[in-house]
Amino acid sequence: MNIHEYQAKRLFGRYGLPVPVGDVATSPEEARAIAARLGGRVVVKAQVLTGGRGKAGGVKLAKDPQEAADRAAEILGMDIKGFTVRQVLIDPAVAIAKELYLSIIQDRAARRSVIIASAEGGMDIEEVAVTQPDAVVKVAIDPLLGLQPFQCNQVAFGLGLDPALHRSFAAILNGLYQAYVALDATLVEINPLVILQDGSLMALDGKVNLDDSALYRQPELAAMRDPSDETAAEREAREAGLSYVDLDGSIGCLVNGAGLAMASMDVLKLCGGEPANFLDIGGGAQADKVEKAMRIILADGRVKSVLINIFGGITRGDEVAKGILAAIGNLQTDVPFVVRIVGTNAAEAREILKSANLPTAPTLYEAARLAVAAAAGQ
């Protein structure tokens, strides 16, 4: 689960990190009042659960309360990467000398949490990692020993920080690690961590990703959930007990089992296609669940064909085939489907599908090939 920047920075503040003392507004009038209370120049920032707000025009400076209200009126209601801005954060503006990047993230391959830091902050760290890999400092933390003082120095030297800043930098890194552990976070990020013109450090932006599996013991954080964190399709899927992830391709995937869904996506790519989604209907696969899954897949206008890949175990293939027919019958769609069913009662299943003129394929490779061809209109 993601939380907003203002929530992340308030949490960081509790761990001793220097953060701006702004507040959130849902209207230009509120923005004006907050700016008047703060005094001086302010920055008006869109609160949406996506990055790159600055580039999208969602971060603007204002010299007085009137301008803050004007900028808030422009930003509120704006669409940033599919998210509508409902709240803006009004922070006191600061004079920046340099922007750094600092985060702690889980590295599954290293089985450690890893500090990632760069003196090239402010912009996309992914881009820096590709174009200037030497500008990215990585230090792994042993979970039993925790963050060690020498590691703070390692990062500070790696960033080329002025030695006068090492002590306050270490305090920030320690606070960030404490927050990361205490909040059950999978990511804590400050981009930019700025060196102000007066020489001090400040966390100007904040991002926290929380481990969904730990939310049961983080009631305060769980209550921060913003329903706009998920798309309508993702919400519908979660409520129906389906695992659904929206992707960028043109071939819908309906699969029973997460591993099988991953394999199906790989084979689609091998055949030159791109999956439009990951969808695991799980075990059982009753007709109503299949239909729900199909509705979610077909609601995505980019879907040009659908690959249905079913492995009948305890679930009988013929039952699933009947479910698929019922669902397609109810949906009235022109989008072509290809079905591959193996396992229990697969032969019966193929008979049912064939008699309804639904294309089936004996192997996953063949099914993927047909789905890719259908999506290309061949």
Please give the positions annotated as active site: 101, 189
Q: What does the buried/exposed string (b/e) look like for 114-128 if buried means 16 or more CB atoms within 10 Å of the residue's CB?
A: ebbbbbbbbbebeeb
**Closest by CA position to 254, among listed 360, 373, 340:** 340
Query: In whole angstroms, what is the distance from residue 51 CA to residue 279 CA?
Result: 25
CB neighbours (10 Å) of residue 95? 9
d(CA 164, CA 200): 10
Q: Across the strands, what pairs with 261?
A: none
Shortest distance, position 44 Cβ to ligand GDP, whole Å: 10
Q: Applying CB under 6 A, which part among 25-33, 94-102, 293-301, 338-346 lies near ligand GDP?
A: 94-102
Provide the mask over 11-50, with x wherever binding to ligand GDP is found by CB under 6 A and - wherever it is not: --------------------------------x-x-----
State the minimum distance, in angstroms, from the CB of residue 53 to ligand GDP. Answer: 3
94 touches ligand GDP by CB under 6 A:
yes
Total residues at the site for ligand GDP (CB under 6 A)?
16
Residue with Cβ nearer ligand GDP (191 or 277): 191
Min dist. Cβ of residue 261 to Mn ion (A): 33
From the CB of 58, what's the least distance to ligand GDP, in Å? 7
- For residue 321, which phi and psi values (nearest 5 degrees)? -60, -45
Q: Which two tokens stand for residue 231?
A: 């798309």
Contact 340, 321 (CB under 8 A): no
Among 18, 22, 28, 122, binds ligand GDP (CB under 6 A): 122
> 219: which 2 tokens?
């009631």
Part in contact with ligand GDP (CB under 6 A); list of ranges 71-79, 90-98, 111-119, 242-250:
90-98
Binding to Mn ion by CB under 5 A, coded x per residue (else -) over 191-220, reads x-------------x---------------
16 binds, among Mn ion, ligand GDP, none (CB under 5 to 8 A by kind): none
- Residue (100 or 307) nearer to ligand GDP, CB: 100
φ and ψ at residue 108, rounded to 5 degrees: -65, -40
Q: How far apart are CA 44 and CA 318, in angstroms?
A: 58
Residue 43 contact partner, candidates ligand GDP, Mn ion, none, CB within 5 to 8 A by sort of partner = ligand GDP
With CB under 5 to 8 Å by kind, the binding choice for 53 among Mn ion, ligand GDP, none is ligand GDP
Burial of 76 by CB count in 10 Å (0-12 exposed, 13-18 middle, 19+ buried)?
buried
Residue closer to ligand GDP (CB basis): 193 or 251: 193
Are 39 and 102 in contact, with CB atoms under 8 Å apart? no
Options 184-192, 259-267, 340-348, 352-360: segment touching Mn ion (CB under 5 A): 184-192
Q: Does 120 bind Mn ion (CB under 5 A)?
A: no
What's the rounded Cα separation, in Å, for the pair 276 and 371? 12
> Is residue 205 part of the contact set for ligand GDP (CB under 6 A)?
yes
DSSP 108-143: TTTTEEEEEEESS-SS-HHHHHHH-GGGEEEEEE-T
CB of 103 to ligand GDP, least distance (A): 12
* In the complex, residue closest to ligand GDP by CB: 54
Stretch that binds ligand GDP, among 93-101, 218-226, 268-276, 346-354 (CB under 6 A): 93-101
| Cβ-based neighbours of 294, under 8 Å, separated by 6 or more | 254, 306, 327, 328, 331
* β partners of residue 339: 308, 360
**Angle at CA 234, nearest 5°, toward 264 and 75?**
130
User: CA 261, CA 169: separation in Å to the nearest integer?
Assistant: 44
Q: List Cα–Cα distances, 221 to 95, 204, 224, in angstroms.
A: 32, 21, 5
Minimum separation from the CB atom of position 189 to Mn ion (A) = 8
Assess 204 for contact with ligand GDP (CB under 6 A). Answer: yes
Judged by beta carbon, residue 103 or residue 191, the one nearer Mn ion is: 191
Q: Which of 103, 151, 191, 305 binds ligand GDP (CB under 6 A)?
A: 191
Site for Mn ion, rule CB under 5 A? 191, 205
For ligand GDP, the binding residues (CB under 6 A) are 43, 45, 51-54, 59, 93-94, 96, 99, 122, 191-192, 204-205
